[in-house]
Structures are given as C-alpha cells and as structure tokens.
Amino acid sequence: MATAELDRQRHQVLHQAQIQAAAIISQARSDAEQIITSAQIIASATLQRARSRHLPRRRSQADQRTQPTPAPAHSDGPAPIMVLNDRWRIYAPLNADASAMATLYKAYELAAPATTVVAKVFHQANNDPQRFRTFLREVRSMRLQHPSIGQIIDSGQDHRSQAVYLISPLYQPGSLNLHLQQRAGAGVSLQWGLQVLGQVLAGLQAAALSNIIHLDIKPQNIVLDGPTNIRIIDWGMSQLHRAGKSVSTVSPGGTKWFASPEQLGVTDAAPSTLSDLYGVGALAYWLLTGLAPLRRELETAVGADADLLQVRHLMQAGTRPEPADHLTPDVPEHLGRLIDQWLSYTPTDRIPHGMDPAAALGWARTALG
C-alpha cells in the first residue's frame, strides 16, 4: 500500500509539473510573438524614417519647385500637440471613450490634411511594460482584416518622443456608448440591435479563427462606421488562445458589468471564446434594456457606487440579472432566454450541452436569427 501511495503521489507531482511547464511554454511563446511584433514595428518605423530623410536629397531643384505643398489645414485652430515621425500631425484630444493606457487624439497626415484620423498614443511606453504589451496586443489584433474589426492605418514609435502609437480611421458617428447617450430616451429598435449583435459576433468569430479572444466587449469598444456597420476596437486586453482557452497565465480582469465571471476569478475556468460570448450577452442586455446586467440588482443592494469587487461578490452569491424580456416588452421571450443563457456564470452553460466551445460564436449568430 505504501508503494502504491508513493507512486500515486509521484504521478500527481509529475502531472502538476507538466501542467506548469505547459503554461510556462505557452506564455513564453506569447511573449516571443510580442517581442517579434515589437521588433518588426520598430524596424519598419526606422526604415520609414530613413527613406523620408533620403528622399528629398534625390529630388532635383526643379522637382522641389514643382512639388505641391500640403495645404495648411487646421491652421486656424490650435497649434499641433505633436508630429509623429514627420508624418502624423496631432492637433486635438478626441472627446471619446479613452483607455487608461493611451490617449486618443484627432490627427491628419501631412500629405493628406483633408482626412481626419485617430491617433492612439501610448506615452512613456518604454518605461511601462504593461502599456507596451497593450500596444502590441492592439497591433496584433487590429491587423485582422474583417469588416467588423477596427483597422490600423499605421503604427510605430515616434523617434522624438519615443511614444508608440496607432493610427486608425475616425469612425463616425462613434461608439455605441456615446451615440446612444446623444439619443437619450430614443431607444433602439429590436431589428437594429440584432444587426449590431450579429456583426459583433461575426467579428469575434473571425478573431477566434485567428486564435485571438477580445475579453473587453462593452459599448465603448463598439463603434459605428456609418449608420449600420459596426467595428470592434480596443483589443488591449486580448489574448492568444489554443483550443479555445487563453494561453496567458495572467488573468485579464475586465470592465464592471461586462466582464465574465472567469475574468473576475468567480470560477476557476480560463478565459476563452465563451468569455467573449458572455460579453456579447452583456452588450445585448444593455442594448435592448438600457441597463447593464446586474446593475439594477447591485444598486438595490449596495447603492449607485458599486465597484468591480461587489459585482464579483454578487456573481459568487448566484444573484442573476432580471431577464431582458421582463424589463422590455419588445424583447421576445425566446431572445430573453438566449441572452440569459449567454450570461450564465458557468462558461459551458452558455452553449448547448456537448457543443465544442470553438463553435460557440457561430452558434450564437445562428441563434439570433
């Protein structure tokens, strides 16, 4: 018996060591990919600066005289805050939902001053590894080519300030959060809301096929590109995944009301594509009822200044948000049940029993009808 018990303990220790080793290898691979991406970005920026420095020297004087001078757009406004790599003129902070990791600015290209873009600048990223990792995750994810994912026009590191930056289109009329604030009391139609949710699921499905999970789906991170098309932005919390599960050993946290229980440590499950499905459920609840899930229940319990930890405690206690169809008569009962399923605190309960989690987002798109 003593020998059998010793063998069992040895097997258990070996199994735990294998799990830890796999986690370390996965994290090392993720870190290596980020380092390679960083090197590529900086090398590209260095090459671009070298070309821009030598290009004027190759022009003849006649060419220089005939070269058109960019129109001094915005010259009647405030002076530029900065010019990034002699290409992007930053001239005003952007009044929009912003990340603590970066600052958003309106900008334009010196060679095309008529078109306004968005510059997301990660100041002092060289001194803040988390800020730099956030930048790299956004570069990696927003290079995905899909009509429901925000795009990157340019990225790099400014040779003067050393700030790293992303340049993206200025999508109008802006985020769902700001757009619906401006339409206070108007509400949204069920048909329009379902179109938005279908596009969000399509974008997340495309990302999942490239082994990326977003992990921060919320109204501030869904922007309108015209009246009907949406874009998912702000991939700073995204993680690589394998077999549907995050390969990172670091819990990503999340945003109050919209983070999944596994992101908040309510369960032992690793963040996965099912975490993004929870985020879509929370977005659907907010979009169709005007309230974030659990906000009504939590404010009843602890008041208006609820924090993320109190949301976590409410989940641990098993408190559920009132079904969406109970709050809004326009929401059909079957849709209310579907949203409630996506908001399940056990990840595998968000999809039909026995379904492969990799199929979750595709199934959800079909279930919306």
Task: Band the pLDDT of 301: cuts 50, 70, 90.
Answer: low
Give yes or no: residues 280 and 159 share one domain: no
Give yes or no: residues 110 and 200 share one domain: no
Give yes or no: residues 194 and 132 share one domain: no
Q: Which of 224, 213, 209, 187 is nearest to 327 (CA)?
A: 187
Domain-embedded: residue 215: yes
Amino acid 17: pLDDT: 52
For 257-267, what is the mean pLDDT?
93
Domain-embedded: residue 65: no
Give yes or no: residues 135 and 194 share one domain: no
Give yes or no: residues 141 and 230 share one domain: no
Arithmetic mean of pLDDT over the chain: 81
Domain-embedded: residue 26: no
For 206-231, what is the mean pLDDT?
94
Amino acid 154: pLDDT: 95
Give yes or no: residues 152 and 177 share one domain: no
This prediction has a pTM of 0.78
For 52-70, what is the mean pLDDT?
41
150 or 309: whose pLDDT is higher?
150
Amino acid 56: pLDDT: 45
Residue after which a domain boundary falls, among 122, 143, 169 = 169
pLDDT at 28 over 60: no
Q: How many CB atoms lie within 10 A of CB 104?
A: 19
Give yes or no: residues 178 and 218 share one domain: yes
CATH for 240: 1.10.510.10
Amino acid 171: pLDDT: 93
For 133-153, what is the mean pLDDT?
91
Phi/psi region, residue 125 (left: phi>0; alpha: psi -120 to 50; beta: rest), is alpha
Task: Band the pLDDT of 230: cuts 50, 70, 90.
Answer: very high
Give yes or no: residues 341 and 217 share one domain: yes
Amino acid 194: pLDDT: 95
Amino acid 16: pLDDT: 55
Residue after which a domain boundary falls, among 118, 140, 169 = 169
Residue after which a domain boundary falls, among 138, 169, 200 = 169
| Contacts of residue 57, Cβ cutoff 8 Å, sequence gap at least 6 | none
Q: Which of 72, 107, 106 is nearest to 87 (CA)?
A: 107
Give yes or no: residues 217 and 253 share one domain: yes
For residue 117, give the H/E element and its range: strand 112-122
pLDDT at 75 over 70: no
Q: How many domains does the chain have?
A: 2
For 269-280, what is the mean pLDDT?
95
Domain range holding 332? 173-368
Report the C-alpha gap between 292 and 257 in whole angstroms: 6
Residue type, 53: R
Give yes or no: residues 351 and 242 share one domain: yes
For residue 189 the two structure tokens come to 């139609």
Amino acid 245: pLDDT: 76
For 164-185, what is the mean pLDDT?
84
pLDDT in tens, 33-55: 554 555 555 555 445 545 554 54
Give yes or no: residues 209 and 298 share one domain: yes
Domain-embedded: residue 30: no
pLDDT at 62 over 70: no
For 256-275, what is the mean pLDDT?
93
Report the C-alpha gap between 156 and 154 in whole angstroms: 7
192 or 253: whose pLDDT is higher?
192
Domain-embedded: residue 24: no
pLDDT at 97 over 90: no
CATH for 41: 3.30.200.20
Report the C-alpha gap between 184 and 281 in whole angstroms: 22
Give yes or no: residues 202 and 276 share one domain: yes
Domain-embedded: residue 130: yes
Cis preceding linkage at 271, omega within 30: no
